[in-house]
Amino acid sequence: MVQLIKLIIAVILGFLMIHIGIHHFRNPQIYDDIIPTYLGFPRFWTLLSGILEIILGIGLIIKFSRQITARLLIVFYLVVYLANLNMWMNDIPFSGNHLSQIGHSIRLLIQIILIIICIWISDFKCCSSYKKK
């Protein structure tokens, strides 16, 4: 039963990632605006992250790549949070809307939940080689 739930969540998350990745190409300006200026070339980062979201979304849907993709998504979510953090710290509107402190906190909470879900999907076990004596 747990494996079925994990499969359903992985597939849903995969399709959501694909959808968001495609949105990076349909409306890149809203993503360009939140790219930290120190990275430079915001359109490059917007399109690259869109491509990665599509690839990682597909990887979650396909069974043989699901575990490694979920682990890669953990890193991806940590890295792309730089844009969300930039948006929060510099009060940059997203899609024309300024988020409140609660709105930014909710985005952070969602990011943490996505990371936890990916840890669960990946069957990541810290210190799994450790054996009690």
The verdict on residue 65 lying in a domain is yes
pLDDT in tens, the chain (133 residues): 889 999 999 999 999 999 999 999 999 999 999 999 999 999 999 999 999 999 999 999 999 999 999 999 999 999 999 999 999 999 999 888 899 999 999 999 999 999 999 999 998 776 555 555 4
The verdict on residue 130 lying in a domain is no
Domains in the chain, number: 1
User: Which ranges of the chain does DSSP label H, i.e. alpha helix?
Assistant: 2-26, 28-32, 42-61, 66-89, 101-121
Predicted pLDDT at 126: 65
The verdict on residue 128 lying in a domain is no
The verdict on residue 80 lying in a domain is yes
Predicted pLDDT at 129: 55
d(CA 100, CA 97) in angstroms, rounded, equals 10
d(CA 61, CA 58) in angstroms, rounded, equals 5
Predicted pLDDT at 123: 86
Name the residue range of residue 70's domain: 2-121
**What's the burial of 107, exposed, middle or buried (CB within 10 Å: 0-12/13-18/19+)?**
middle
The verdict on residue 18 lying in a domain is yes
The verdict on residue 46 lying in a domain is yes
